[in-house]
Amino acid sequence: MRVTLGPSILTADFLHLERAVHEAESAGVDFLHLDIMDGQFVPNITFGPFVVAALRKTTPLPLDVHLMVQTPEKHIASFIDAGADGITVHAEACQHLHGVLMSIRTTGAAAGVAINPGTAPESVAEVLHVADQLLVMSVNPGFGGQSFLPTSISKITRSRELIEQSGAQVIIAVDGGVKPSNVGKVVAAGASMIVAGSAIYSPEVTVAEGVHALLAGIDAVVAQTGGQQ
């Protein structure tokens, strides 16, 4: 399976968001990752459906909406209406996770389940058959620019083994602190959807440099493993 890469726009220049998106698009990303935070489930507050709808008008890239909110089931319709192609909810925020994922799928959008660093992949084993992606958080959610938690690598491997045993068709996404220095290990462990924010939107690099460095890290490990993910 081809490994895909999408920037989280959280650390992009929000005064020039259209430019930030188009630079990532030109650099060759596969999707946009939109971090929605409510100040309840996580300490930070970001943006809502209006910004997603504005982005929908500026790019054909798939919009991967990451709901870091309490009671995400209340917000699915508004983000679908805004143009989301995929919605990921946190297992820790759902009382009826199976039902929430099913409700996302019935809209035609991809359904994702995210697990925080403190949540075991085994805890979502029963919903793998109604999920399209398992998002393994490699930082505690709430902010961009955090350091990758090294324990995430073994967790990605365990998640892949769990998915293989279940026979479910679920891709593993990883989000938080991913950099050119660790993306190879993340992919080798079993991730095929990579989210990166501050590795792409940062004063240290241009967007193109950030994207290309990550793609080089991905390509290197895919070449070593003969493309087997």
175 touches Zn ion (CB under 5 A): yes
Q: How many helices (H) and strands (E) does the chain have?
A: 7, 8
Compute φ and ψ for 40, nearest 5 degrees. Answer: -110, -60
75 touches ligand DX5 (CB under 6 A): no
Residue 228: burial class (beta carbons within 10 Å; 0-12, 13-18, 19+): exposed
146 touches ligand DX5 (CB under 6 A): yes
Is 175 part of the annotated catalytic residue set? yes
Residue 109 or 199 having the CB closest to ligand DX5: 199
From the list 83, 184, 197, 210, which residue makes contact with ligand DX5 (rule: CB under 6 A)?
197
Asked whether 73 and 94 are in contact (CB, 8 A), the reply is: yes
Indicate the SS3 state at residue 174.
Answer: strand
Residues 27-56 that bind ligand DX5 (CB under 6 A): 33, 35
In the block, which residue shows the tokens 């030109």?
26
Residues 47-76 that bind Zn ion (CB under 5 A): 66
Q: Which residues bind Zn ion (CB under 5 A)?
A: 35, 66, 175
> Which residue ranges make up the site for ligand DX5 (CB under 6 A)?
8, 10-11, 33, 35, 66, 68, 139, 141-142, 144-146, 175-178, 195-199
